[in-house]
Amino acid sequence: MGKRKSIRTRGKLQLSRYFQELDKGDSVAVVREKAARSSFPKRLQGKTGKIEGSRGKAYIVRIMDQNKEKKFLIQPIHLKKIKTSK
C-alpha cells in the first residue's frame, strides 16, 4: 500500500518536520512517516484537512472521513503544510 522510503533516508527522522510550527487554519496533508510510530488509522494517509488547534505536542486536524467531519490528534512529523490559493 505505502511507498518505500529511499535507502538513504530509511529509519531517519527529519527534525525540521518533527519540530515544525503550524498555525490554526493551516491546510495540511497527512503523510505517514514510516520511521516513527503512528497510531492513527491507515485510511488517513493522503487526506487533507485544516488545523483546529494543538494539544501538547500534537495538532488537532479536522478531516472529512467519508461524509462526516472528524477531528484527529496527529503529531507534526506526520503533517505536511499545503499552500492554498485564496
Domain containing residue 29: CATH number: 2.30.30.70
Mean pLDDT for 34-58 is 87
Mean pLDDT for 8-18 is 81
Please determine, for residue 9, whether its predicted confidence score (pLDDT) is greater than 90: no
In this predicted structure, what is the pLDDT of residue 67? 92
Residue 9: inside a domain, yes or no? no
d(CA 28, CA 50): 6
Q: For the chain, what is the radius of gyration of the CA atoms?
A: 13
Residue 20: inside a domain, yes or no? yes
In this predicted structure, what is the pLDDT of residue 2? 58
Please determine, for residue 86, whether its predicted confidence score (pLDDT) is greater than 80: no
Under a CB-based contact definition with an 8 Å cutoff, are residues 29 and 48 in contact?
Answer: yes
Residue 10: inside a domain, yes or no? no
d(CA 25, CA 80): 14
What is the percent of the chain with per-residue pLDDT over 70, rounded to a whole number? Answer: 95
Residue 6: inside a domain, yes or no? no
Residue 7: inside a domain, yes or no? no
Residue 30: pLDDT band (50, 70, 90) is very high
Residue 62: inside a domain, yes or no? yes
Domain span including residue 51: 15-82
Please determine, for residue 56, whether its predicted confidence score (pLDDT) is greater than 70: yes
